[in-house]
Structure 1
Amino acid sequence: MCLAAAYKNKQTPENLICKYVSNIGFNEGKIVLTDVLGEEIALEGKLSAVDLVKNVVVIECA
């Protein structure tokens, strides 16, 4: 299983949105992150980077 950490705008500890992301989806123009426990976080923005080797997702938000 590949779990990722999602960050807002850049990969820094203070910009962490969600740990252990297991799924990334899209609903009504928002990015929906789901963690391993099934908790969902929906936010507006666009995917800036996805590094599956380092398990990092960066979302560009306004």
Structure 2
Amino acid sequence: MCESTAYLITPEGERKLMEYVVDVVPKDNGRLALTDILGEEKIIEGMLKEIRLLEHKIVIENIK
């Protein structure tokens, strides 16, 4: 399987945003569209910090 889990890094720590993510698409104004394997989409304000393919982990940093 090639799905990953997306996490948001904030000053308070790391929190899980979405599991089974298959697409990450940059949008305007510092937003990212995350889509899971079932087609559910979340729009997140943040910056892509890293993708760890072997760990199936997407790390997004809060930009506020």
Tell me which interval the TM-score lies in, with the shorter structure as reference length: 0.7 to 0.9
Higher-helix-fraction structure: 1
Identity of aligned residues (%): 33
Structure 2 unmatched runs, 5+: none
Separation in 2, partners of 1:27, 1:38: 17
Higher-strand-fraction structure: 2
How many pairs align? 60
2:54 alignment partner in structure 1: 53
Separation in 2, partners of 1:43, 1:19: 14
2:25 alignment partner in structure 1: 25
Separation in 1, partners of 2:56, 2:16: 13
| CA drift at 1:49 | 1.4
TM-score by length of 2: 0.83
